[in-house]
Amino acid sequence: MLGNWLGTQEHDTEEHWVSISDVMAGLMVIFLFIAISYMVNANRHRANAERESNRIQGLQMKIKDLLGAYKNLQAQLSDDLQEEFEGSPTKKRQFRTEWRGYLDIETLSIRFKKPFKQGEATVPNAFKSVLRDFFPRYVAILTKDDYRNEISEIRIEGHTSSEWFVKVTGNEAYINNMELSQDRARNVLHYVLRIARPAVTPNKEWLKKNLTANGLSSSQLVLDLDRTRLLPANSYDAVAKETGIPELEVEQLHSQIRREMRDWQSSEKPTQLDIVNRVRAIQTFSNFKQEALERAVGLLMENKTESRRVEFRVVTKSEKLIEEIEQLMKRFNDSGVEN
């Protein structure tokens, strides 16, 4: 009986181990199929990745071609504007000295400095005279066949300084100046549409579709980059209240800006962003938000005369697309795809 039992146990044990072996063999087959599947998918993935890389590089080449064409268009328009208003000593003297004009070739903006009396929105007669000469010549360029269908907007922008002519808080000054700048832009728009000149009258409907009035208050201050100026454009207390930066840090910020301006190479013309980035690298100011620092730098270094201005700015249909394309290309480059 014992023998029979032992025999039975031995038989059961063999069956048990055979069962486990079958399971292990089955698992090995499954793992083999998984391994083969991974290899096949990896090869397929590499092939797909290579095709995708080639596709992306092809798209990048097309994007660069489009980007070049759009930038060439804006450069050509900038050249035409520069030739029309600064192309000779006589034109340049009229534009810069008599009209107090400034052409920004990067933004396709023509700026007229301080054309309005302080606190007033009525277009002065002197500025009307400027507009009667300037606007028809301006429209004649923009309505050329090369540009007419490429322009999505002509913005008449009203800009002010950060101050108000009576003492109010920074926020109240900003709101008051917003209303004032909007009224000025709208009044300029109203006036130029009534100019009866050959370039304006036949293009009246086109102008109505593309010409807009925009009041921007003191949101885009012009900086005074004079390295020798000792006093800030606005008081430390006013800057502190508007930006949320403590007054002591505002005073230190102004001192640092003056040091940065003195150290700046004479051949370089720093932008507001250059200055903000330089001071932001200093530990004292590194914790403040970018927007607060930008506003503080603008308020401390403001050129009040140039901040009070009217601008005519051309926005091409490609402008927003260019920004989107450049962002897309940056994402491609950041992903490791070679140009």
pLDDT digits (tens, 9 = 90+) for 315-333: 887 776 666 666 666 665 6
Residue 28 lies in a domain: no
Helix (H, G, I), strand (E, B) or coil at 32: helix
Residue 111 lies in a domain: yes
Amino acid 5: pLDDT: 40
Beta-carbon contacts of 84 under 8 Å, excluding residues fewer than 6 positions away, are 91, 137, 138, 141
Instruction: List the alpha helices (DSSP H) in the chain.
Output: 2-86, 89-92, 125-142, 170-192, 204-210, 236-243, 247-263, 272-280, 290-300, 304-307, 318-334
Query: Where in the sequence is the domain holding 131, given as residue range(s)?
Result: 69-222+303-325
Quick one: tokens of 294?
């930008």
Q: What's the whole-number mean pLDDT along residues 274-301?
A: 89
Asked if pLDDT for residue 276 goes beyond 80, the answer is yes
Asked if pLDDT for residue 127 goes beyond 90, the answer is yes
| Cα 84 to Cα 10, 105, 153, distances in angstroms | 107, 13, 20
Amino acid 332: pLDDT: 59
Quick one: tokens of 268?
């370089």
Tally of residues, the chain: 339
pLDDT tens sequence across 17-67: 444 445 555 555 555 556 556 666 666 667 666 676 676 677 667 667 766
Rounded Cα gap, residues 50 and 54, in angstroms: 6
8 Å CB contact between 124 and 114:
no
Asked if pLDDT for residue 284 goes beyond 90, the answer is no
Beta-carbon contacts of 170 under 8 Å, excluding residues fewer than 6 positions away, are 162, 238, 241, 242
Q: What's the whole-number mean pLDDT along residues 246-250?
A: 93
Asked if pLDDT for residue 336 goes beyond 80, the answer is no
Amino acid 328: pLDDT: 64
Asked if pLDDT for residue 338 goes beyond 80, the answer is no
Amino acid 16: pLDDT: 42
Residue 187 belongs to domain with CATH number: 3.30.1330.60
Pick from 66, 45, 48, 76: nearest CA to 329: 66
Asked if pLDDT for residue 203 goes beyond 70, the answer is yes
| Cα 202 to Cα 25, 134, 139, 140, 206, distances in angstroms | 88, 17, 11, 11, 9
Residue 105 lies in a domain: yes
Number of domains in the chain: 1
Amino acid 280: pLDDT: 85
| Percentage of residues of the chain with pLDDT beyond 90 | 50
Amino acid 275: pLDDT: 86
Q: Among 261-270, 279-288, 321-330, which is the least confidently predicted range?
A: 321-330
Residue 148 lies in a domain: yes
Residue 11 lies in a domain: no
Amino acid 107: pLDDT: 87
Q: What's the whole-number mean pLDDT along residues 231-252?
A: 92
Pick from 177, 161, 154: nearest CA to 114: 161
Residue 39 lies in a domain: no
Q: Among 109-118, 152-161, 164-173, which is the least confidently predicted range?
A: 164-173
Amino acid 45: pLDDT: 66
DSSP-assigned states of every residue in 128-174 = HHHHHHHHHHHHHHHTSTTTGGGEEEEEEEEE--S--SS---HHHHH
- Banded model confidence at residue 13, pLDDT cuts 50, 70, 90: very low
Q: Among 141-145, 209-213, 307-311, 317-321, which is the least confidently predicted range?
A: 317-321
Asked if pLDDT for residue 149 goes beyond 60, the answer is yes
Residue 307 lies in a domain: yes
Residue 214 lies in a domain: yes
Q: What's the whole-number mean pLDDT along residues 3-21?
A: 44
Highest mean pLDDT: which of 9-13, 171-175, 283-287, 326-330? 171-175
Rounded Cα gap, residues 99 and 90, in angstroms: 12
Q: What's the whole-number mean pLDDT along residues 295-314?
A: 93
Beta-carbon contacts of 180 under 8 Å, excluding residues fewer than 6 positions away, are 119, 121, 158, 160, 215, 217
**For all residues of the chain together, what is the average pLDDT?**
82
